[in-house]
Amino acid sequence: MTLRFPLAALAILASSFATAPQARPVTYAGGHVLVLSHQPTLDQWRYTHSPSFRWSVSVGGLRADHLGETQSLDVDYLRAARLLHRWNLPEAQANAFLWGGIGQTRSGKGDGLGRHVGLQLDYETRRIYTALVSELHEGDGWSHRFDTVMLGWSPHPHDVDRMASWVVLKGMHTSNTDDSRLKGALVLRFFTTRWWLEAGADEDGRPLANLMVNF
Amino acid sequence: MNIRTTLVLLALALTTVFASPRLDARSLRVEVNGLVCAFCAHGIRAAFARQPAVAEVFVSLEDRLVAIALKPDQDISDAITKELLTDAGYTVVRIERTEATLAEIRAEADRD
């Protein structure tokens, strides 16, 4: 492997701003989270405040390209999210979240007001992570749904004062695009209580990265 | 000793036993469900840091444990403890008051 790939990954990580749809939409009461995400055709950023563990408000942006007739999409939005249900088990936690938002959009089909709605289902233990995220964006004459499915595994169970390390397989799909195949990706995930970092590549060798910070 | 004196002494003894066990406790040991992610557990320390009676907090995902060290002669009620952990997104299973220090609780968790 040449140096070009890791340098490109670092450059994208340093310069990209995006929201990871797989970041939890709601955290803990009083929590603030900044999320930055890059996928091959989708960049997002989001700042979330959770006044309660049941709901949150966010401001964010999304940039996507290779969207077929829409060509590209640029969205700045406000969003509210709700924890529909949580299952706190002795060795696991599962969640269902729902969110919706509105914002200013710019696309190949013109500018205007856009809306979106999303759903996240996840289940995790200290060794296994699974999640399904689906987010639908619509505007005047266009509609795209961004889906992500994840399966993660940790070689060792982490704890609060140790850095966690995971291997995560991702499947990503965007509707109404030039290429509607499910794209696979492999990322390495590292996190502590304050920060979370993912980096990897999809099956075409294009880099992905996510960064989250707890305040 | 007549009956009245006996009853008074018994009442005093019971009052002593039940009056302030909380002020003798140095720590709270809380068993919690849903503790599986360190990034998500950030809120636990943040919540208890704002409590005047709390000196320090220890969280162990492996033991499903949140241990809270109390400042001398101070206490935090079970109701507030449960509320803080619920607001952090977790479910409290059991709260136990102990004279063990946080260092002792941490050492016990590390041994397991």
Domain range summary for chain A, segments of one domain joined by +: 4-214
Q: Do B47 and A30 touch (CB under 8 A)?
A: yes
8 A C-beta contact, residue A150 and residue A156: no
**Nearest chain B CA: its distance from A11 CA (Å):** 25
Domain count, chain B: 1
Q: Which residues of B touch A (CB under 8 A)?
A: 32-47, 59-62, 64, 86-91, 93
CATH of domain A4-214: 2.40.160
pLDDT > 70: what percent of chain B? 83
Residue found under tokens 């509607």 = A180
What's the CATH code of the domain at B25?
A: 3.30.70.100
Q: Do B61 and A157 touch (CB under 8 A)?
A: yes
Residue A86, Cβ density class (10 Å: 0-12 exposed, 13-18 middle, ≥19 buried): middle
With 0.80 as the threshold, say if the pTM is over it.
yes
8 A C-beta contact, residue B49 and residue B71: no
Residue A4 — very low, low, confident or very high, per pLDDT cuts 50/70/90? Answer: very low
Q: Which of B56, B61, B105 to mutate to test the interface with A (most CBs of A within 10 A)?
A: B61
What residues of B are in contact with residue A24 (Cβ under 8 Å)? 40
Q: Do A93 and B88 touch (CB under 8 A)?
A: no
Mean pLDDT of all residues in A189-203: 93
- B3 falls within a domain: no
- B48 falls within a domain: yes
Query: Taking the CA of residue B110 as centre, how many other CA atoms within 13 Å lie in the half-sphere pointing to its CB?
Result: 9
- B67 falls within a domain: yes
Burial track B9-48 (b if 16+ CB lie within 10 A, e otherwise): eeeeeeeeeeeeeeeebbbbbbbbbbbbbbbbbbbbbbbb
- B79 falls within a domain: yes
Tokens of A205: 């060798």
Find residues 70-129 of chain A whose CB sits inside 8 Å of chain B. 86-93, 124-126
Residue found under tokens 């190949």 = A108
- B16 falls within a domain: no
Size of interface A-B (CB pairs under 8 A): 92
**Nearest chain A CA: its distance from B75 CA (Å):** 22
Residue B16 — very low, low, confident or very high, per pLDDT cuts 50/70/90? Answer: low
**Which domain does B62 fall in, by range?**
21-111
Each residue's pLDDT tens digit, A20-48: 335 689 999 999 999 999 988 889 999 99
- B8 falls within a domain: no
Each residue's pLDDT tens digit, A66-95: 777 778 889 999 999 999 999 999 999 999
Of the ranges A127-141, B5-19, B66-80, which one carries the lowest mean pLDDT score? B5-19
Residue from the list A29, A53, A191 with its beta carbon closest to the beta carbon of B39: A191
- Predicted pLDDT at A207: 95
Each residue's pLDDT tens digit, A106-145: 988 889 999 999 999 999 999 999 999 999 999 988 999 9
